[in-house]
Amino acid sequence: MVRLILARACLAALALPLPAAELAVAPGELAAVLARAAAGDTLRLEPGIHPGPVRVDLPVRLQGSPGAILEGPGAGTVLTLTADGIAVSGLTVRGSGADLARDEAVILVAEARDVTVEGCRVEARAFGIYLEAGGGHHILGNEVVGDTALEMARRGNGIHLWNTEHNEIRGNRLVDVRDGVYLSFAHDNVIHANQGTGLRYGIHYMYSERNVLTENRFAEGTGGIALMFSMENRIEDNETVDNREFGVLCQQIERSRLQGNRASGNGRGFYVENSAVNRFAGNRVEGNGVGVFLTAGSEQNVFTGNRFSGNLVQVFEDRAGANAFFDEGRGNLWSDYAGFDWNGDGVGETPYRLNTAAATLMARRPVARWFWMSPVLALLDWWDSRLATPAVDAFDPFPLVGDAAVVEPGVVEPGVVEPGVLEPGAMEDGLR
């Protein structure tokens, strides 16, 4: 009987899973160590150059020691991750191909879930970190640097999301790639606290819904944030500074909320084209060529509680009355508003006119900006003001005065964004 009990105990012990191991990986040994690794193991890459390409198809952790470099041969993808639950951290990864047509990337996450890439330096010639299908990934605190020897059109995107959902893209630094973060058919993602310079667009997405973009900063590129053919997105507390074309582009965007953002020193602060039923609230629009440029059938958008300060043209709207520059008796603050608040309620007693003749001329013909503040444009505005009527011109009937222009209370909690909390259809109530 005792022997039987001991035998059964031995068999039970053999059936228990082995504890996860930590395996040291010297340069040149990564493929061999991966071949004998088990799920849950940590592979610690020692300093030096580890040759790629490498494919990981079981849930392990690749952890780079200081000075550990995974380097491809200059063709194809360097690191391909295909299993759920893989984690990669602390590595420099480089040496991919540069063929955009073949989707060559430094790191490719393909049809997996819950993969983490954290604290890596990615030196990109084509795509940097490419998420293909699957979802629930965490791309955290990485630096993705493009190849300035290539023309902008030949570079890939820093972090590229295609047909994927519920990802967290947080705290990454993106430099000299084409688009910093690119999304296509990618829904319910959180894009938070990323920053980039020297890009075409900081964030560029198409056909993507219910995404949350918060506290990102993009400067000195062609454009800051480009939103196209999408709906039910939250764009909050971002900064776009000194971009040549625009701070935020909305092209065929619907039922989205843009709130608490700062657009400063851009060609156009907000470029809104063929977009409808969006809410712009509590944004700071400062020192742009045109603060808000509304065109091509944009309608039923609401602008309230925004600060328009020092823009050469505060607002250009090609179809007067198609959008509302107030909500529930609350308009916007305008740095060039010349009216008064006689009763102290924070609202001016006379409307603010948006499309003056000089502003329209400068918005449509930028060469006219050379004559800004000239007697000619001043005379044009004076004469035009004599002809202005609410029936044919755009007005803010409740311009704010003093400190009344603040972000709507109780709507935004800066810095508190959890992935996956935005439920389908949740934007509907928020826009009412």
Q: pLDDT at position 428, please?
A: 39
Tokens matching residue 241: 């500074």
Model confidence at 20, pLDDT cuts 50, 70, 90, reads confident
DSSP string, 91-142: -EEE-----GGGT-EEEEEES-BS-EEES-EEE-SSEEEEEES-B--EEES-
Assess contact for 166 and 135: CB atoms under 8 A.
Answer: yes
- Whether residue 361 is contained in a domain is answered as no
Assign residue 32 the CATH number of its domain. 2.160.20.10
Comparing C-alpha atoms, which of 197, 200, 198 is closest to residue 153? 200
Q: pLDDT at position 395, please?
A: 84
- Whether residue 1 is contained in a domain is answered as no
- Whether residue 418 is contained in a domain is answered as no
Between 49-58, 73-82, 295-304, the lowest mean confidence (pLDDT) is in: 295-304
Query: What is the C-alpha separation between 22 and 29, in angstroms, rounded?
Result: 15
Q: pLDDT at position 404, please?
A: 53
Query: What is the C-alpha separation between 216 and 238, in angstroms, rounded?
Result: 5
Query: What is the C-alpha separation between 201 and 322, in angstroms, rounded?
Result: 28
Q: Is the pLDDT of residue 241 over 70?
A: yes
Mean pLDDT of 237-261: 98
- How confident is the model over 256-276, as pLDDT tens digits? 999 999 999 999 999 999 999
The length of the chain, given as a count of residues = 432
Query: What is the C-alpha separation between 41 and 256, in angstroms, rounded?
Result: 43
Q: pLDDT at position 296, please?
A: 76
Give Cα separations from 80 to 33, 109, 130, 132, 286 (angstroms).
Answer: 16, 6, 10, 11, 44
Q: Is the pLDDT of residue 26 over 90?
A: yes
- How confident is the model over 309-328, as pLDDT tens digits? 999 889 988 776 689 999 99
Query: What is the C-alpha separation between 35 and 30, in angstroms, rounded?
Result: 9
Q: Is the pLDDT of residue 407 over 70?
A: no
Number of domains in the chain: 1
Q: What is the pTM of this model?
A: 0.84
- Whether residue 174 is contained in a domain is answered as yes
Between 133-137, 321-325, 392-396, 417-421, the lowest mean confidence (pLDDT) is in: 417-421
Between 71-75, 170-174, 370-374, the lowest mean confidence (pLDDT) is in: 370-374
Q: pLDDT at position 320, please?
A: 63
Q: Is the pLDDT of residue 432 over 80?
A: no
Q: Which range of residues forms the domain containing residue 74?
A: 23-186
Comparing C-alpha atoms, which of 110, 101, 157, 102 is closest to residue 131? 110
Give Cα separations from 89 to 51, 115, 140, 188 (angstroms).
Answer: 17, 11, 9, 25
Query: What is the C-alpha separation between 146 and 148, in angstroms, rounded?
Result: 6
Q: pLDDT at position 8, please?
A: 55
Q: Is the pLDDT of residue 369 over 60?
A: no
Between 40-54, 65-79, 341-355, 414-428, the lowest mean confidence (pLDDT) is in: 414-428
Give Cα separations from 388 to 291, 292, 329, 352, 381 (angstroms).
Answer: 21, 21, 22, 11, 10
Model confidence at 353, pLDDT cuts 50, 70, 90, reads confident
Which residue is listed with tokens 């020691």? Answer: 65
- Whether residue 218 is contained in a domain is answered as no
Query: What is the C-alpha separation between 246 and 263, in angstroms, rounded?
Result: 9
Between 48-52, 213-217, 395-399, the lowest mean confidence (pLDDT) is in: 395-399
Exposure class string for 167-194: b at 16+ Cβ within 10 A, else e = bbbbbbbbbbbbbbbbbbebbbbbbbbb
Model confidence at 406, pLDDT cuts 50, 70, 90, reads low
Mean pLDDT of 75-96: 98
Assess contact for 270 and 258: CB atoms under 8 A.
Answer: yes
- Whether residue 106 is contained in a domain is answered as yes
- Whether residue 291 is contained in a domain is answered as no
- Whether residue 125 is contained in a domain is answered as yes
Q: pLDDT at position 216, please?
A: 99
The residues that bridge with 44 in the sheet, in sequence order, are 24, 63
Mean pLDDT of 317-345: 88
- How confident is the model over 102-154, as pLDDT tens digits? 999 999 999 999 999 999 999 999 999 999 999 999 999 999 999 999 999 99
